[in-house]
């Protein structure tokens, strides 16, 4: 039985540098980084040099590298599906794809097909779904998915650099965009991007609380400058509010709440990038509160540990159908929010 | 109501004769009760937690204070300073209330309007975005163009509370007001580049704060005794305009 698995990274930006490399430094018994690919050859070489890996600028070079057992896709969102499909067809042992898994329904269909065709285990790096604090709450929440009637996600964050810079020393950081706020299509694209780039962390969690979303209806969608959104939608008989704001505050506040008549779930997540332990979840009723977490392991470490268990045959891989349903749900929210914003702007 | 009456005992010097203060319960028949109290010659009236019903203002020398569950909390003097300082152009405030299932949403919304009025200014217009048996989401605008996102969520798992949050470019102002039936203090936290500051806690419930206000108004001798009723009337009009159609639709469905 192979005990250590070689990893190749497609994309060596801040997420690879400040999240995955420091996490994998804790997991040397299970993984070794063998190959780093980036479109910028200097970045690929510099990041590979930190971990003693090979480097290249093409997907093909990484997929042809026999030392790579597991492909980690950390490229821009629009490349995820294409690279995932190529990795599966290349006969790799597993693929870990950063969220979102896909950016269109057609891509989601193609991923479903390649999963059935190749059987390669696919994981999505939605770290909150692996977070021990969240999972403990799920194990104890009883009938909350059926009984909850109101769900709220609020994410208030400083710019990523505040955390990236204490997780590693980052190369090649992209500047924060300065779009034309007066263009409705720019706003629609920003809110779509907000859902697929930020809310995406927790939409799989919200989907666990929804019996259905085929009746999803966005009631209101607003883009909040400099970067944020407020989206209100109903689905499966529940009202769901998604709120986010990235500002210059030093204080992160990342909270998911679900309310039923007699139970409330409150989950406080730690910020990405830094290893600040797991979320803390609280399940409250009128006469008690049960607290889960914090654990020392955060969602990123948990997701890699779970991948190791899958590769060793100790754990079944996640259902690709569930992962694809997660991204279909996210796309449904993103598309409907963008359309609601367009209509509101035209009406105004 | 008994909670309010018993609070009088904590002000023995201000109100040596408790019979001098008339309490009017804010259930839907309160306008008639208030009129009776005024015509009886009461000098000080506390209107407790009024429901949003139409009413006519009476001209009289009686001083009426409105005891509203969130707006009467003594934290609101400090909170008003903090929120008004932070409410720059384009600001948005979240106003969230937890309330038990079966609560009257119109009254809950009126309570929210009173709170926003206390810390930021009157809300001129409210548009309900979503209303169900268990939640309400609405959006409003104050007289100084501060946008307010209102939400009311029903559960018995948490005690009733109101919370406000205003996110600024580099921090926030956050206020949580617990149920006014105890002296559990509100928490006002201002976050800025230098850190987070918790305002001094005040272990006085909103009922006592309302009674002190009544005493202070009586002491001036020239107070406008109907001022709080006029403000209440404006908020009732806003509440009714926002919720009227929605409640009629829901009642028709039932």
Distance CA A11, CA A38 (A): 5
Residue B221 covered by a domain: yes
Min CA distance, A117 vs chain B (Å)? Answer: 44
Q: Which residues of A114-125 are buried (b: 16+ CB within 10 A; e: fewer)?
A: bbeebebbbbbb
Residue B104 covered by a domain: yes
CB contact under 8 A, A251 and B101: no
CB contact under 8 A, A284 and B154: no
Mean pLDDT, rounded, of chain B:
93
For Cα atoms B28, B31, B35, give the angle at the middle one, nearest 5 degrees: 150
Please identify which residue in the block is written with the tokens 């019979």.
Answer: B19
Domain count, chain B: 2
CB contact under 8 A, B137 and A232: yes
What pLDDT score does A162 carry?
Answer: 75
What pLDDT score does B211 carry?
Answer: 95
Mean pLDDT, rounded, of chain A:
94
A232 chain-B contacts, CB cut-off 8 A: 129-130, 137
DSSP assignment of B176-221, as one string? EEE-TTS-PPPEEEEEETTEEEEPPP----HHHHHHHHHHHHHHHS
Q: Residue A175: CB partners within 8 Å, gap ≥ 6?
A: none
Residue B188 covered by a domain: yes
CB contact under 8 A, A251 and B155: no
Indicate if B34 and B131 belong to the same structural domain. no
Name the residue in chain B with its Cα closest to that of A159: B170
CATH code of the domain containing B88? 3.30.360.10
3-state SS, residue B83: helix
Q: Indicate if the pLDDT at residue A304 is higher than 60.
A: yes
What pLDDT score does B247 carry?
Answer: 66
Indicate if B177 and B197 belong to the same structural domain. yes
CB contact under 8 A, A156 and B172: yes
Min CA distance, A192 vs chain B (Å)? Answer: 21
Interval A133-175: pLDDT, tens? 999 999 999 999 999 999 999 999 988 777 777 777 777 667 6
Indicate if B59 and B87 belong to the same structural domain. no
Question: Which of B135, B157, B172 lies at the smallest CB-CB distance from A264?
Answer: B157
A234 chain-B contacts, CB cut-off 8 A: 130, 132
Residues B185-200, mean pLDDT to the nearest whole number: 97
What pLDDT score does B248 carry?
Answer: 62
Residues A110-137, mean pLDDT to the nearest whole number: 97
Indicate if B50 and B150 belong to the same structural domain. no
Please identify which residue in the block is written with the tokens 């909040």.
Answer: A224
Would you give the DSSP letter of residue B40?
A: T
Q: Indicate if the pLDDT at residue A274 is higher than 90.
A: no
B196 chain-A contacts, CB cut-off 8 A: 251
Closest CA to A219 of B97, B242, B137: B137
Indicate if B188 and B236 belong to the same structural domain. no
CB contact under 8 A, A219 and B129: yes
A224 chain-B contacts, CB cut-off 8 A: 92
What pLDDT score does B254 carry?
Answer: 52
Which of B88, B89, B134 would you mutate first to test chain A, the one with the most A CBs within 10 A? Answer: B134
Indicate if B107 and B214 belong to the same structural domain. no
3-state helix/strand/coil string of chain A? CCCCEEEEEECCCHHHHHHHHHHHCCCCCCEEEEEEECCCHHHHHHHHHHHCCEEECCHHHHHCCCCCCEEEECCCHHHHHHHHHHHHHCCCCEEEECCCCCCCHHHHHHHHHHHHHHCCCEEECCHHHHCHHHHHHHHHCCCHHHHCCEEEEEEEECCCHHHHHHHCCCCCCCCCCCCCCCCHHHHHHHHHHHHHHCHHHCHHHHHHCCCCCCCCEEEEEEECCCEEEEEEEEECCEEEEEEEEECCCCCCEEEEEEECCCCEEEEEECCCCCCCCCCEEEEECCCCEEEECCCCCCHHHHHHHHHHHHHCCCCCCCCHHHHHHHHHHHHHHHHHHHHHHHHHHHHC
For residue B35 the two structure tokens come to: 């009129």
CB contact under 8 A, B130 and A234: yes
Residue B212 covered by a domain: yes
- The pLDDT-based confidence of B249 (bands split at 50, 70, 90) is low
Would you give the DSSP letter of residue B10?
A: G
Residues A275-293, mean pLDDT to the nearest whole number: 96
B132 chain-A contacts, CB cut-off 8 A: 149, 234, 239
CB contact under 8 A, B156 and A249: no
CB contact under 8 A, A239 and B130: yes
Min CA distance, B11 vs chain A (Å)? Answer: 33
What pLDDT score does A176 carry?
Answer: 66
What pLDDT score does A210 carry?
Answer: 95
Indicate if B32 and B124 belong to the same structural domain. no
Whether the ipTM is more than 0.85: the answer is: yes
Residues B93-110, mean pLDDT to the nearest whole number: 97
Indicate if B88 and B184 belong to the same structural domain. yes
3-state SS, residue B133: coil
- The pLDDT-based confidence of A310 (bands split at 50, 70, 90) is very high
Indicate if B7 and B65 belong to the same structural domain. yes
Phi-psi region of B41 (alpha: psi -120 to 50; beta: other; left: phi over 0): left
Q: Are A99 and A36 a contacting pair, CB within 8 Å?
A: no
Interval B138-151: pLDDT, tens? 999 999 999 999 99
A248 chain-B contacts, CB cut-off 8 A: 169-170, 193
Name the residue in chain B with its Cα closest to that of A247: B169
CB contact under 8 A, B129 and A232: yes
Min CA distance, B146 vs chain A (Å)? Answer: 14
Query: In DSSP terms, which residues pair with B173 in a beta bridge?
Result: B166, B190
Indicate if B161 and B63 belong to the same structural domain. no
Interval A186-232: pLDDT, tens? 999 999 999 999 999 999 999 999 989 999 999 999 999 888 999 99
Min CA distance, A260 vs chain B (Å)? Answer: 6
Which of B99, B135, B171, B198 would you mutate first to test chain A, the one with the most A CBs within 10 A? Answer: B135
For residue A279 the two structure tokens come to: 């979320």
Residue B252 covered by a domain: no
- The pLDDT-based confidence of B68 (bands split at 50, 70, 90) is very high
Domain that holds residue B26: 2-69+207-247
Chain B residues with CB within 8 Å of chain A CB: 90, 92, 94, 101, 129-130, 132-135, 137, 139, 149, 151, 153-158, 167-172, 191, 193, 196
Min CA distance, B66 vs chain A (Å)? Answer: 30
Helix axes A132-140, A299-311, angle to 10 degrees: 80
Please identify which residue in the block is written with the tokens 């779509």.
Answer: A192
Residue B254 covered by a domain: no
What pLDDT score does A294 carry?
Answer: 97
Distance CA A100, CA A82 (A): 12
Distance CA A95, CA A97 (A): 6
Residue B23 covered by a domain: yes
Residues B35-62, mean pLDDT to the nearest whole number: 91
What pLDDT score does A172 carry?
Answer: 67
Indicate if B111 and B176 belong to the same structural domain. yes
Residues A30-34, mean pLDDT to the nearest whole number: 97
For chain A, domains (ranges, CATH) are: 5-126 (3.40.50.720), 129-303+329-347 (3.30.360.10)
Q: Indicate if the pLDDT at residue B43 is higher than 90.
A: no
CB contact under 8 A, A259 and B155: yes
CB contact under 8 A, A150 and B135: yes
Residue B177 covered by a domain: yes
A259 chain-B contacts, CB cut-off 8 A: 134-135, 153-155, 157
What pLDDT score does B28 carry?
Answer: 96
| Last residue within a domain, chosen from B202, B218, B233 | B202
Peptide bond connecting A34 to the previous residue in cis, omega within 30 degrees of 0: no
Indicate if B52 and B153 belong to the same structural domain. no
What pLDDT score does B201 carry?
Answer: 97
- The pLDDT-based confidence of B17 (bands split at 50, 70, 90) is confident
Q: Indicate if the pLDDT at residue A241 is higher than 90.
A: yes
Interval A61-75: pLDDT, tens? 999 999 999 999 999
Distance CA A71, CA A59 (A): 10
Chain A residues with CB within 8 Å of chain B CB: 149-150, 152, 156, 219-220, 224-225, 230, 232, 234, 239, 241, 243, 245, 247-251, 259-264, 284-286
Interval A97-114: pLDDT, tens? 999 999 999 999 999 999
């Amino acid at each position: 039985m192979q005990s250590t698995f070689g990893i190749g990274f497609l994309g060596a930006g801040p997420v690879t540098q400040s999240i995955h490399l420091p996490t994998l430094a804790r997991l040397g018994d299970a993984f070794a980084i063998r190959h780093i690919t980036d479109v910028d050859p200097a970045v690929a070489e510099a990041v590979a040099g930190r971990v003693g890996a090979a480097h290249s600028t093409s997907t093909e070079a990484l997929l042809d590298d026999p030392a790579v057992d597991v492909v980690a896709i950390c490229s821009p969102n629009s490349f995820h599906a294409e690279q995932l499909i190529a990795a599966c067809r290349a006969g790799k042992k597993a693929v870990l794809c950063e969220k979102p898994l896909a950016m269109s329904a057609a891509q989601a269909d193609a991923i479903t097909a390649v999963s059935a065709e190749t059987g390669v285990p696919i994981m999505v790096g939605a770290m909150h779904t692996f977070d021990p604090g969240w999972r403990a709450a799920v194990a104890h929440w009883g009938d909350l998915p059926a009984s909850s009637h109101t769900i709220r996600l609020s994410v208030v964050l400083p710019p990523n650099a505040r955390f990236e810079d204490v997780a590693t020393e980052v190369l090649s950081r992209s500047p924060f965009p300065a779009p034309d706020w007066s263009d409705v299509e720019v706003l629609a694209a920003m809110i779509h991007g907000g859902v697929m780039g930020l809310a995406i962390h927790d939409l799989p969690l919200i989907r666990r609380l929804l019996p259905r979303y085929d009746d999803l209806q966005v009631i209101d969608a607003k883009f909040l400058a400099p970067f944020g959104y407020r989206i209100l939608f109903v689905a499966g008989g529940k009202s769901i509010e998604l709120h986010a704001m990235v500002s210059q505050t030093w204080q992160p506040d990342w909270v998911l709440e679900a309310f039923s008549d007699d139970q409330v779930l409150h989950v406080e997540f730690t910020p990405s990038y830094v290893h600040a332990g797991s979320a803390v979840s609280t399940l409250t009723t009128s006469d008690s509160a049960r607290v889960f977490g914090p654990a020392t392991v955060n969602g990123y470490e948990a997701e890699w540990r779970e991948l190791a268990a899958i590769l060793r045959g100790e754990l079944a891989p996640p259902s690709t159908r569930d992962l694809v349903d997660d991204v279909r749900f996210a796309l449904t929210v993103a598309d409907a929010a963008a359309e609601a914003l367009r209509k509101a702007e035209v009406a105004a | 109501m008994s909670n309010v009456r018993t609070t009088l005992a904590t002000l023995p010097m201000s109100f040596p004769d408790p019979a001098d203060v008339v309490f009017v319960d804010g259930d839907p028949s309160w306008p008639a009760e208030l009129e009776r109290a005024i015509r009886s010659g009461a000098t000080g009236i506390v209107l407790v937690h009024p429901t949003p019903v139409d009413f006519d203002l009476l001209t009289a020398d009686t001083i009426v204070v409105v005891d509203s569950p969130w707006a009467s909390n003594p934290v609101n003097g400090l909170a008003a300073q903090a929120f008004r300082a932070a409410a720059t152009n384009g600001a948005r405030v979240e106003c969230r209330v937890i309330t038990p299932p079966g609560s009257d949403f119109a009254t809950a919304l009126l309570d929210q309007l009173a709170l926003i009025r206390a810390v930021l200014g009157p809300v001129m217009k409210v548009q309900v975005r979503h209303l169900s048996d268990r939640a309400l989401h609405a959006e409003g605008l104050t007289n100084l163009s501060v946008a307010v996102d209102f939400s009311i969520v029903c559960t018995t798992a948490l005690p009733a509370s109101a919370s406000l949050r205003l996110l600024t470019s580099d921090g926030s102002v956050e206020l949580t007001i617990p149920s006014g039936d105890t002296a559990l203090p509100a928490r006002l936290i201002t976050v800025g580049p230098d850190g987070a500051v918790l305002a001094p806690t005040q272990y006085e419930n909103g009922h006592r704060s309302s009674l002190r206000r009544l005493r202070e108004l009586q002491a001036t001798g020239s107070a406008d005794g109907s001022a709080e009723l006029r403000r209440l009337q404006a908020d009732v009009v806003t509440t009714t305009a926002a919720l009227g159609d929605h409640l009629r639709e829901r009642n028709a469905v039932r």
